[in-house]
Amino acid sequence: MGLTKQMDVSVDCVVFGYDGEVLKVLLIEQKTQDGGALREKHLQMALPGDLIQSEETLNDCAARVMLELTSIENIFLKQFHSFGDPNRVREDKDQEWLKTYREFPNKRVITIAYYALVSLYDYTPSPSSFAGKTQWMKLEEVPELAFDHNHILDFALQTLKEQLEPHHIGFKLLPKKFTLSQLQHLHELVLDKKLDKRNFRKNVKRMEHVVPLDEKQKGVLHKPAQLFAFNPEALN
C-alpha cells in the first residue's frame, strides 16, 4: 500500500441562517482571475472554505474562513464531520478553478466541515479574498455546487436536525427577542415536520432557558405576540 505526500487539509463551513420565514445557507461565488466567456464557463457557487495554514488550528481556520470570505466573525461554529473521498476535487469543473489558485491542483484534499448558525437579522455578509460574491440561498434552491459541497450541505442539515433539541442550538438562528410562533416555525423547518401548537407551547413552558419578557411585538398588523428570550445560564 503506497503512502502519498500529495495531500492537503481544508476547512469548509456550512452557514445556516433564518429570516423568520425560511432556512437559508450562505454560499460564495468562486472568483476567477480571467473575464468574459471563460469566466462564465466555470462560474460556480460553493461553501466558504480554504486550506488550513501550517501553524493554524482547525477552529482558527474555520474562523478565518468566515472572516476572510464573508466578513462574518464571532459566531457559533461547530465541527461535525470530515470528508475524504480521493476524487472529491478532481472533476473537470473543479480542476479549472483550482488551476487558478492552487500550485498543485491535483492534490488530494481532505476537508474538515463545520456548521455555523446565525440570525439573518444580525449579520450582513460581504465577499472578500477569492469569493466573488456572497449569497443567502433557500435550501430548496441550492444549485449544483463545487466539489462535493452538496453532499457536505446535506450532511450538515442532517446534523442540525439531530442536534437542534438536545443541544438547544436553534436559538442562535433567532433574533434576541422572539415569539413562540417563530420558535415553533424554526423547529418545523429544521425537523421537516408539523408540530402540534398546544403540545409545543406546553413543552416550552417547562423550559427554564426560554424566558418570557414583559414585551410584545411592535409594528405588526396582527395582534402583537409576547416576546421571549433565551437564557443559556439556565442550562448550566
Higher-pLDDT residue of 86, 234? 86
pTM as predicted? 0.88
Residue 16 has pLDDT above 50, yes or no: yes
Equal fold, 7-163 vs 176-235: no
pLDDT of amino acid 130: 66
Q: Topology of domain 7-163, per CATH?
A: Nucleoside Triphosphate Pyrophosphohydrolase (3.90.79)
pLDDT in tens, 128-148: 766 678 899 999 999 999 999
pLDDT of amino acid 37: 46
pLDDT of amino acid 57: 97
Residue 197 has pLDDT above 60, yes or no: yes
Q: Topology of domain 176-235, per CATH?
A: Arc Repressor Mutant, subunit A (1.10.10)
pLDDT in tens, 148-157: 999 999 999 9
Q: Which of 125, 26, 16, 112 is nearest to 68 (CA)?
A: 125
Domain spans of the chain, in order of start: 7-163, 176-235
What are the angstrom distances between the C-alpha of 46 and each of 41, 42, 89? Answer: 15, 12, 12
pLDDT in tens, 25-47: 999 987 665 554 444 455 689 99
Q: Checking DSSP bridges between strand 108-119 and strand 7-18, what pairing results, if any?
A: parallel
pLDDT of amino acid 153: 98
CA distance 231 to 220: 25
Cell of 202: 406546553
φ, ψ (nearest 5 deg) of residue 140? -75, -10
pLDDT of amino acid 33: 59
CA distance 118 to 172: 6
pLDDT band at 104 (very low <50, low <70, confident <90, very high): confident
Cell of 151: 453532499
Higher-pLDDT residue of 144, 92? 144
Q: How many CB atoms lie within 10 A of CB 177?
A: 13
Out of 33-47, 48-62, 80-94, give the one with best mean pLDDT. Answer: 48-62
pLDDT in tens, 63-77: 999 999 898 999 999
pLDDT of amino acid 122: 84
CA distance 189 to 23: 7
Q: Which of 101, 82, 84, 96 is nearest to 4 (CA)?
A: 84
pLDDT of amino acid 89: 82
CA distance 10 to 39: 24
pLDDT of amino acid 2: 53
pLDDT of amino acid 74: 92
Mean pLDDT of the chain, nearest integer: 87
pLDDT band at 97 (very low <50, low <70, confident <90, very high): confident
What are the angstrom distances between the C-alpha of 128 and each of 24, 57, 131, 204? Answer: 20, 22, 5, 41
Burial class (CB in 10 A: 0-12, 13-18, 19+), 48: buried
